[in-house]
Chain A
Amino acid sequence: MSKTLFDKVWDAHVIKKIENGPQVLFIDRHLVHEVTSPVAFLGLKNRGIKVRFPERTFATADHNTPTRNQHLPVADPLSANQLKMLEQNAAEHGIPYWGLGHEKNGIVHVIGPENGITVPGATIVCGDSHTSTHGAFGAIAFGIGTSEVEMVLATQCILQPKPKRMRINVHGKLNPGVTPKDVALYIISRLTTSGATGYFVEYAGEVFREMSMEGRMTVCNLSIEMGARGGMMSPDEKTFEYIKGREHTPKGEAWDTAMEYWDTLKTDDDAIFDKEVSFNGEDIEPMITYGTNPGMGVGITMGIPTADAVEGGAATYAKSLAYMDFQEGESMIGKPIDFVFLGSCTNGRIEDFRAFTGIVKGRKKADHVTAWLVPGSHKVEAAIREEGLLDILIEAGFELREPGCSACLAMNDDKIPAGKYAVSTSNRNFEGRQGPGARTLLASPLVAAAAAVTGKVTDPRELLELATA
């Protein structure tokens, strides 16, 4: 029978099918961080058992860590305690722990691929909803809750009903100034935040094939924002080249064995999806959100849509605009902004810093803008220095922080103050996500850079033209 990419990876991991119940899925890699793990480890203790496969488990500190002075003791007692507990739990169970300051430390979904933990055809879980990022490599990756973290620690398995299959095709080519983030925000704006609920998405078409691995990660990362369980892409030469030689990827004979499996990871020609949608790359322009869910995005030159054109009904729409203090039909271009956040597992990789730097080069940060540039990991930070990007950023009036989730969820000190506008490259613009009362405009690193130097929402293509002229 013909199978989709998703079916092939899923079926290869089923240990047992329970009649009228969920399936037992083996998990190849489990990523653990300080916030969703303490209660799960406590559960193991109460059961008197150990982590079943510590060598398949990897721990990092990222969610509530400070992005300044990481060499000093962590000031916030709650976060200091969570870090201490993770360190102890990791030591007790023999799990590699890349804590603050460790050269491999960083955001869980950035360090997974960087260190070769993420490989094609694997099943990967983590107690964070944006685990879907790893789907860029042809892995089935999804976020889990704390009781499931305990389940995977204890048994390396998870009980899951099999999701339905959906394919999203984006054909053609992208216009200059249009990035993977824009592609994802465009899809979510079309499908709404519940458009893929109950599905596992496969992304296909020329636009994704042309994308770098970093870009594919950005797209898969945002799958969850359209309601999908996860999103993935077929591995290809780019994928294998990216992972080859990384610390945890198979080597030698093991690589060849894995490759035999990886070569099969394509959707069969006549495989059937439960749902399929197609878009054209040429139709996409740089995107920005105006409301309080990631589905409320528009092309940057288009105005805020009218209530009748938006999902969720007039009440949600009105509440959302009131929170943002925007009016129906207004233009987004020219809106003054206060903060810029470049970072997160959505857009905190080297390519994102290159894009940002490309625009701010030779310009100056607008005086009234506070900019938080937070690399996704120490490796990203090192690359920023090595490639000379840091000098350009400093020259333009920016500074670089230390890695972590930072203002993506604002669990640490990096909170956008109430009422302030932030152009953010992260993934959620919910009320209060970036700090109580904070107003988030989600966008690409290019749009963030254009906002940082002009102090207002600006079409980055205008600055790109200047740069190439």
Chain B
Amino acid sequence: MAYDKFDVLTSSAVPLPIENVDTDQIIPARFLKATEREGFGDNLFRDWRYHPDNSPKEHFVLNNPIYSGKILIGGKNFGSGSSREHAAWAVYDYGFRCVVSSFFADIFRNNCLNVGVLPVQVSAAFLQQIFEAIEKDPKAEIKIDLPEQSITILATGAKETFDINPYKKDNMLNGFDDIDFLLNLEDDITAFNAQNPL
């Protein structure tokens, strides 16, 4: 489904300095049965966020009002484990547009790119600097510039560039998932079909 275009994003960020966050933590398997893409944001990090009786766990970062923003900063190897696309939906539906980490699991990275969440991979040292900046000031702003492929910690001016597949970058800038991209090839598809012998 089409999502909001991604261009330049400046926002405070939510720190989650935990390594190997797997997709079972991001969205537990029991929430996968839904056939509609709805309500996944409520179940993001469900078992870290809520007690079994659905009361919030106070110490979890998403329940701490001093942290907010559209950027999630995760520890190394974010999104490992099962390939469920729902994990990326949950991150997007909650309101994050960008996840920063020093390493992403491949399938999770691809799923993110297809649903409108930009995975930004930075060096371990830069990731550390981000965590430190947020520790100093929970409202510290991070700027993600997709056209330029750069990430900047505004308070310190520290800046790094990141990689993204040009096809996926284009889609992000346009707010397209893979199907939107193909739908926009309508003329090519019609032309191909017209000369197709089969």
Contacts and interface: CB of A to CB of B under 8 A. Distances in A.
A157 B178 CA distance: 11
B185 A16 contact: yes
B183 interface: yes
A38 B33 CA distance: 13
A121 B181 CA distance: 26
B106 interface: no
Nearest to B180: A47
A259 to B, nearest CB: 9
A24 B182 CA distance: 8
Interface residues of A, number: 36
A48 B177 CA distance: 15
Contacts of B198: 28, 119, 121-122, 250, 258, 261
B42 interface: no
A15 B192 contact: yes
B139 interface: no
Interface in B157-198: 165-168, 178-179, 181-183, 185, 188-189, 192-193, 196-198
Given A26-B196, A155-B179, A15 B188 contact: yes
A43 B192 CA distance: 25
Nearest to A259: B197
Nearest to A255: B197
A261 B196 CA distance: 11
Contacts of A38: 35
Contact of A42 (B35, B85, B182): B35
Contacts of A159: 178, 181-182
A456 B95 CA distance: 61
B179 A150 contact: yes
A387 interface: no
B116 to A, nearest CB: 15
B53 interface: no
Contacts of A20: 165-167
B36 interface: yes
A39 interface: yes
A157 B189 contact: yes
B1 interface: yes
Contacts of B168: 21
B197 A155 contact: no
A21 B179 contact: no
B185 A155 contact: yes
Nearest to A154: B179
Nearest to B114: A147
B174 to A, nearest CB: 14
Contacts of B192: 15, 26
A38 B36 CA distance: 11
A28 B196 contact: yes
Given A157-B185, A254-B197, A47 B179 contact: yes
A26 B190 CA distance: 10
A56 to B, nearest CB: 9
A15 B166 contact: no
A156 B193 contact: yes
A257 B197 contact: yes
A359 B193 CA distance: 48
Given A42-B36, A151-B182, A159-B182, A19 B193 contact: no
A15 B185 contact: yes
A468 interface: no
Interface in A227-262: 250, 254, 257-258, 260-261
A157 B183 CA distance: 9
Interface in A9-34: 15-16, 18-22, 24, 26, 28
Contacts of A43: 1, 179
A155 B196 contact: no
Nearest to A42: B35
A21 B167 contact: yes
A15 B189 CA distance: 7
B107 to A, nearest CB: 12
B175 to A, nearest CB: 13
B62 to A, nearest CB: 27
A155 B166 contact: no
Contacts of A53: 193
Interface string A36-52: 00110011001101001
Contacts of A250: 197-198
Contacts of A261: 197-198
B182 A258 contact: no
Nearest to B167: A21
Interface in A132-176: 147, 150-151, 154-157, 159
Given A24-B182, A28-B198, A261-B198, 20 more contacts: A15-B188, A18-B167, A19-B167, A20-B167, A21-B165, A21-B166, A21-B168, A26-B189, A42-B35, A42-B36, A47-B179, A122-B198, A151-B179, A151-B182, A155-B179, A155-B183, A155-B189, A157-B182, A157-B189, A258-B197
15 contacts: A15-B188, A16-B185, A20-B166, A20-B167, A21-B167, A24-B182, A24-B188, A26-B189, A28-B198, A42-B35, A49-B183, A151-B179, A155-B189, A254-B197, A261-B197
Closest 4 CB pairs of A and B: A21-B167, A155-B182, A18-B167, A28-B198
Interface of A: 15-16, 18-22, 24, 26, 28, 38-39, 42-43, 46-47, 49, 52-53, 119, 121-122, 147, 150-151, 154-157, 159, 250, 254, 257-258, 260-261
